[in-house]
Amino acid sequence: MAWEAWFCIGVVVLVFVALVRNLAAPDIVFLGAMALIVAAAGITGSDKLPTAAQAVAGFGQEGLLTIAVLFVVVSGMTQTGALAMLVTPMLGRPKSAVGAQLRLMFPVALLSAFLNNTPIVAMFLPVVSDWARRTGISASKLFIPLSFATILGGTCTLIGTSTNLVVNDLIATQGHLPALGLFEVGKIGLPCAVVGLIYLLLLGRKLLPDRMPALSTDGDTRRYTTQMIVEPASPLVGQTIEKAGLRHLPGLYLAEIERGEETLAAVAPTVQLRANDRLVFVGVVESVVDLQKIRGLVPATNQVRKLNAPRESRCLIEAVVSDTCPLVEKTIREGRFRSVYNAAVIAVARNGQRIEKKIGDIILHPGDTLLLEAHPTIADRLRNSRDFFLVSKIEGSTPLRHNKAYLALAILVGMVVLAGTGVLSMLAAALLAAVAMIATRCCTGAEARRSVSYTVLVVIGSAYALGKALDTSGAADAIARSLVGLSGSNPWVALLLVYLTTMLFTELMTNTAAAILVFPIAVSTAHTITLDGRPVSLMPFAMCIMLAASAAFATPIGYQTNLMVYGPGGYRFTDFTRIGLPLNLLLMAVAVTLAPVIWPF
């Protein structure tokens, strides 16, 4: 091999070491690797290394742009509560860990087939955490199945995971191969997903640890008293407290219901909700925030409706009343709190005690912690005021646009239909859906920008440069010839070795980077092996790369969703290896067996 090939292999090894030892964030590692290659090309003038223009070309790939746009589509689903509306009835209240896994994994896998799995896990983390506390099931029994189910579901369609889109782009660059359809991947992905989900259900309870999450809200000393009204058109009307999901809220309990002149204390789970019921809750701030997002519940204080800023632009703010506040020893109504501060009080915390008064009748004391609904700029104004201490905005507290939930679902369905029928390309359909989400105010432009994971995009774009370098330097061809030598020119053995190589790369770096790096190796391998006097088809190799790059279950660093559940589930590194390594090997057997049958050599 030429020195350029050895240099590129050395850079890839450095990337492995940096990621395994966690020396820097993945985006920094890959950007550094791209910088080394571009610098070497510029200094030496070698034509076997990609130039700067060639190296950054990956950032303009259609697959990467599609991933970026899909984040915006998911943001619209999140901000309207459309996802929660679909998922909450599915989760229910199971009696066992296996029942909980069954209720969780299949809906999540189905969603992940049509939405990028990374934002799905991000959306489900708080939902599953709360669900685990309500059901008394250890979160460590649920978070790994959540991550694994999204990975498996993502293998079933072209848009299910970024890896599929990236490999589809690479297939299209070959010229003689057509781009894949939306459901073409499912021919091999669906059998693998079914096998994987059955494996998790049968062996998950034995291999998953019974370990509580690292963090809990139970120890929070701030116990807010807040009141909510059941809207007349609410879907909660007629439901029991238990069925409405208000019985086992984490860190929050329903103290009483005020119904006209009647007060229902010690509310039984069988009590049915009625329109205009006033529900009095006591609990921690995280659960009060979640309460504000339940469809059909609105803050009891009418001051919220009198604020100037549109509700979708507001957030929740915590503020501690100082002893110099002019409203001390006055009720919230007497002090005209909303008029003075342009913020509405929706909850009050006082030394962990329940305050048995309506919000407007509460007399403010120094040290009271108020939960306010207001425009985010109000937090900065209050922070500079002597009337309050410790003013802070609550992340993720923007009220959901429940009235647009069905609209967001319609946009998502439209995107899938347009892409699935071939009327539009995946990028065009996703762009249209993203624009529709913003234009219809399912999400704002600011929320759309915040939803994009630029770290993921930088890793993918930089990895293209490494894959290009392996190809142009001759390193991929040399590795391919080594694989062919090991396989004895047997295409089945070569396919197995390509799968193993991709799987190893995926466990040590990121899935998309692994696919990009191994693809040129697979191309060279397919061109080298002949069958009946012709080179074997690239398609079985490409499809196995898709599966192997997504099937990253043995380490938490192999896939971003594994990293996302690592801390909240209280896992150890070996927990992933114990349950994930057998799953890796099982899916390898299925994929290597089926791929040449579906796409013959």
Q: For position 173, what pLDDT does the model report?
A: 80
CATH of the domain at 261: 3.30.70.1450
Question: Is 477 found in the same domain as 365?
Answer: no
Residue 282 is inside which H or E element, if any? strand 278-283
Question: Is 320 found in the same domain as 237?
Answer: yes
Question: Is 591 found in the same domain as 493?
Answer: yes
CA distances from 492 to 25, 41, 64, 189 (A): 37, 37, 31, 19
Domain count, the chain: 2
Write down the H helix ranges in 396-555. 405-420, 426-439, 445-451, 454-473, 475-487, 491-508, 511-528, 539-550
Q: For position 598, what pLDDT does the model report?
A: 93
Range of the domain at 524: 3-23+466-598
- What gap in Å lies between CA 79 and CA 310, rounded to an integer? 14
Each residue of 504-537: b (16+ CB within 10 Å) or e? bbbbbbbbbbbbbbbbbbbbbbbebbeeeeeebb
Contacts of 412 (CB under 8 A, 6+ apart): 73, 76, 77, 82, 114, 115, 433
Nearest to 489 by CA among 537, 450, 525: 525
Domain termination residue (choose one: 393, 410, 437): 393
Tell me whether residue 47 is in a domain: no
Residue 347 is inside which H or E element, if any? strand 344-349
Tell me whether residue 437 is in a domain: no
Nearest to 152 by CA among 597, 598, 522, 584: 584
Q: For position 217, what pLDDT does the model report?
A: 47
Question: Is 372 found in the same domain as 278?
Answer: yes
Say how far residue 191 (Cα) sits from the centre of its chain.
24
- What gap in Å lies between CA 589 and CA 287, rounded to an integer? 45
Three-state DSSP state, 265:
strand
Question: Is 373 found in the same domain as 505?
Answer: no
DSSP string, 61-110: -HHHHHHHHHHHHHHHHHHTTHHHHHHHHHH---SSHHHHHHHHHHHHHH
- Return the sign of the alpha-carbon dihedral for residues 352, 358, 363, 364: positive
Question: Is 484 found in the same domain as 366?
Answer: no
Query: Distance from first CA to last CA of the chain, Å, rounded?
Result: 29
- What gap in Å lies between CA 408 and CA 72, rounded to an integer? 12
- What gap in Å lies between CA 364 and CA 455, rounded to an integer? 45
Q: For position 119, what pLDDT does the model report?
A: 67
Bridging pattern class, strands 297-299 and 224-230:
antiparallel
Tell me whether residue 194 is in a domain: no
- The string of pLDDT tens digits covering residues 38-69 is 999 888 888 888 888 888 888 887 778 887 88
Q: For position 576, what pLDDT does the model report?
A: 87
Q: Helix 491-508 to helix 573-598 angle, to the nearest 10 degrees?
A: 150
User: Which of the 8 DSSP states describes residue 61?
Assistant: -
Q: For position 557, what pLDDT does the model report?
A: 66
Domain termination residue (choose one: 393, 421, 446): 393
- What gap in Å lies between CA 107 and CA 124, rounded to an integer? 11
Nearest to 161 by CA among 124, 119, 196: 119
Q: How many helices (H) and strands (E) does the chain have?
A: 23, 11
- Here the tokens at position 371 are 């939960």
Q: Residues in the chain with pLDDT < 50?
A: 213-219
- What gap in Å lies between CA 366 and CA 369, rounded to an integer? 9
DSSP string, 540-560: HHHHHHHHHHH---SSTTSSH
User: Which of the 8 DSSP states describes residue 49?
Assistant: S
- What gap in Å lies between CA 275 and CA 298, rounded to an integer? 12
- Here the tokens at position 65 are 């742009």
Tell me whether residue 205 is in a domain: no
Question: Is 340 found in the same domain as 240?
Answer: yes
- What gap in Å lies between CA 142 and CA 370, rounded to an integer? 34
- Here the tokens at position 194 are 């079914």
Contacts of 373 (CB under 8 A, 6+ apart): 299, 304, 307, 314, 315, 316, 317, 343, 344, 346, 399
- What gap in Å lies between CA 213 and CA 571, rounded to an integer? 8
CB atoms within 10 A of CB 121: 25
- The string of pLDDT tens digits covering residues 219-256 is 455 688 888 999 998 888 999 988 887 876 767 788 88
Q: Helix 26-44 to helix 3-20 angle, to the nearest 10 degrees?
A: 160
Nearest to 575 by CA among 7, 147, 63, 269: 147
Domain termination residue (choose one: 339, 374, 393): 393
Give the position of tokens 């399912």. 442
Question: Is 478 found in the same domain as 340?
Answer: no
Question: Is 470 found in the same domain as 389?
Answer: no
- The string of pLDDT tens digits covering residues 178-227 is 778 888 889 999 999 999 999 999 987 788 888 654 444 444 556 888 88
Tell me whether residue 429 is in a domain: no
Tell me whether residue 116 is in a domain: no
- Here the tokens at position 570 are 């209280």
Nearest to 498 by CA among 522, 515, 475, 528: 522
Nearest to 473 by CA among 37, 20, 32, 142: 37
Question: Is 350 found in the same domain as 238?
Answer: yes
Tell me whether residue 303 is in a domain: yes
Residue 226 is inside which H or E element, if any? strand 224-230
Q: Which residues pair with 393 in a beta bridge?
A: 317
Please indicate, yes or no, whether the overall pTM of this predicted structure exceeds 0.75.
no
**Contact call for residues 461 and 35 (beta carbons, < 8 A):** no
Nearest to 302 by CA among 373, 400, 234, 398: 373
Question: Is 367 found in the same domain as 250?
Answer: yes
Three-state DSSP state, 387:
coil
Question: Is 385 found in the same domain as 472?
Answer: no
Tell me whether residue 472 is in a domain: yes
**Contact call for residues 196 and 583 (beta carbons, < 8 A):** yes
**Exposed, middle or buried by CB within 10 Å (0-12, 13-18, 19+), for 192?**
buried
Q: For position 216, what pLDDT does the model report?
A: 47
**Contact call for residues 77 and 411 (beta carbons, < 8 A):** no
